[in-house]
Chain A
């Protein structure tokens, strides 16, 4: 599994009715790599996340995780993927601890309580674990959602606009978590429509437009953040 790329996507297409969302998307991601996919609203970022997370079936094309087809072995592959979406995916009538404990049971995590404490500390929500999720601020809910995604220590973390709803301090903490994960060899794929946030979060930037990757560069080997900004402006038609 290790000699294959973490994620390899070939010719991915997905339509909703007559609207084509992904139109032959190709992407390869190595182990330990951090990539940000930039794209305006409706460019297909969430659909891509849902397909990688095996929540949505593509119309055609393949997604492989470590050389294994995500659709063919969806149930077992989910154990290796952590997903953060726009929604917090938590039960509002349960406490943060109860939510995390429930997910620990679903993932079959042994010594769940220890793991819950570790991720809660990492995300700075330890003191809020005994409050009902519905009574927490949006930012704290988001932190617990990220804790949920990290609970089973996944080698691949995919996050859909993780910075949305987070204040400045929490965003700084999220950047720190992503750095830590990358250092520990975790592959991280994030999406955003915030150009500055995207270039701050990762070295590799891809631009998704009309269902295809139209730009894919490492900031160090390319023209840097300015180059990305120019490329984003020219591909999205937005002025800088």
Chain B
């Protein structure tokens, strides 16, 4: 049963990693983003979304694009849809035993470049003609022309990155990460005046993705279990709150604070790690677990009068730079988070392949052997811990500034477990997998479950089953985390998108024969 299931959802062919594996990544990303796009385009066809009524069947043409850019946009749309479909076609061909050959990638590359350039031109036209400013005032749920442009831009960018893949050797993960970003994660930003819950969900998604990327360094790369990761998140958020709020009357800019938050968090990570890193990983798990419980406690107890007690710190500054007024709309946060996420992904990707990253892998696979080859195990582990904590601190600083109020309850143990679930679900040690995991899990937790509450209430009044309305789906989050952790570990320990080394390690444990084979290859 387990083998059959594993074979069914296996992403990589038996022959090892090839571009076919990547094209399956592509399919996953494309279908996820396709669903999202359909969801967001829906109001365009059925009329605006009204919070009280739902989608009303209003004249859809009101908000449909008109004017000089329209034709260009439709042409672009067709081109981009072709690009969008082509990996599916390619995967189908591969399934039938044939391939398009390198020409397909070349075509995608050229089309991608053309798409990026053309959409840029359209955008300029829009700006010059003033038909619609980039973010005009629209009703909630309406979708602006520039939003469609931006969607197309995302398609084009992804096609470009994906098409350039064969020329950038060994950059599949990076390509995938960059391709997923515009689709799955930051698409909501492109829609001006999106419903608030959507903006919040997108914000949570970006924050959780950063957290998961940081935890992935500790759990995935170095193989140490950190169960108190929310503590570093809290430290970053409280650092931001202390230095940019009326509580101590200090008002530092956010860009300094994200580095400050990262630095303080990594310092705490090193302090916490030092006594336990000499011991076995289990002890690190329990110590971090305790730490994760204690930090919110300290905040609740208002340690040194710094943290404001159980009510936390409120009134955190929101930056205002020129035309970027962060308090006016959360979207500037999204754009900043987009930049920061890309920077973090690129950074971590490079660290993974650096000398330190290889030392982590060696340590994870066999600590004794790693020490014998001259790796300083303590320093290497501490580095993993500090780097992981610093990403968390950075995300925390952003979080504090975004929500403007931090309270101890925001950093409970369930946050640590949510982040761990993202890493385990997506793929331990694989950046692309972690991004995918963040998309899936935050979608479920922040969008699907709260909506299911509303749907079940509506359904119960329609079909007259009062019991349906009483089900509080939001309270099922713990069960979802728990099941995700257990099932993934039992059925697919590498996660949805396993990193190759990790998958081999996890699946061949106990089979000395294949392990030897792997070691022979590596």
Q: Are A and B genuine complex partners?
A: no
